[in-house]
Amino acid sequence: MFWRAGRRQLPGDSHRSQTTGGLTPPRSPKTQWKTENLMGFFDKLKAGLAKTKQLLQTDIRDLLKAGEILDEPKLVEFEKRLLRTDMGVIAADAILAELRIKHLGRTVDLDAIWQTVKDKLKQLLRGDGNSSWDSDNPLSPLKLSTTKPSVILVAGVNGAGKTTSIAKLAKLLMSTGNSVVLAAGDTFRAAAVEQLTLWSQRLGCDIVTKPSGTDPASVAFAGCEHALNTGKDILIVDTAGRLQTSQNLMQELTKIHRVIAKKIPGAPHESLLVLDATTGQNGISQAKNFSEATQCTGLVLAKLDGTAKGGVAVAIRQQMGIPVKYVGVGEGIDDLQVFSPDNFVDALFA
Ligand X SMILES: Nc1nc2c(ncn2[C@@H]2O[C@H](COP(=O)(O)OP(=O)(O)OP(=O)(O)O)[C@@H](O)[C@H]2O)c(=O)[nH]1
Closest distance of CB 198 from ligand X, Å: 11
Nearer to Mg ion, 81 or 168 (CB): 168
* Interface ranges with ligand X (CB under 6 A): 156, 158-164, 186, 192, 241, 302-303, 305-306, 328-331, 335
200 is an interface residue for Mg ion by CB under 5 A: no
User: Cis before residue 149, ω within 30 degrees of 0?
Assistant: yes
Residues 44, 329 contacting (CB under 8 angstroms): yes
CB atoms within 10 A of CB 239: 30
First-to-final CA distance of the chain: 48
User: Cis before residue 268, ω within 30 degrees of 0?
Assistant: yes
Nearer to ligand X, 7 or 189 (CB): 189
Strands of 336-338's sheet, edge to edge?
2-3, 206-208, 180-185, 234-239, 150-155, 270-276, 298-302, 324-328, 336-338
187 is an interface residue for Mg ion by CB under 5 A: no
Residue, CB closest to ligand X: 241
Nearer to ligand X, 89 or 198 (CB): 198
Closest distance of CB 150 from ligand X, Å: 21
Residues 290, 165 contacting (CB under 8 angstroms): no
Nearer to ligand X, 306 or 323 (CB): 306
Nearer to Mg ion, 163 or 179 (CB): 163
Decide the pairing of beta strands 2-3 and 270-276: unpaired
Nearer to ligand X, 120 or 335 (CB): 335
Closest distance of CB 102 from Mg ion, Å: 46
Under rule CB under 5 A, which residues in 231-270 are in contact with Mg ion?
none
Helices (runs of H) and strands (runs of E) counted in the chain: 13, 9
27-53: b (≥16 Cβ within 10 Å) or e: eebbebbbebbeeebbebbbebbbbbb
**Chain centre to alpha carbon of residue 258:** 24
Closest distance of CB 302 from ligand X, Å: 4
Closest distance of CB 2 from ligand X, Å: 22
Of these, 163, 187, 209, 294, which contacts Mg ion (CB under 5 A)?
A: 163
- Rounded distance between C-alpha atoms, residue 96 and residue 83, angstroms: 11
Question: Per CB under 5 A, which region of 162-170, 225-233, 252-260, 328-336 contacts Mg ion?
Answer: 162-170
Nearer to ligand X, 78 or 339 (CB): 339
Closest distance of CB 167 from Mg ion, Å: 10
Closest distance of CB 294 from Mg ion, Å: 16
DSSP 269-291: SEEEEEEEGGGTTHHHHHHHHHH
Picked from Mg ion, ligand X, none, the partner binding residue 306 (CB below 5 to 8 A depending on kind) is ligand X
52 is an interface residue for Mg ion by CB under 5 A: no
Q: Which residues bind Mg ion (CB under 5 A)?
A: 162-163
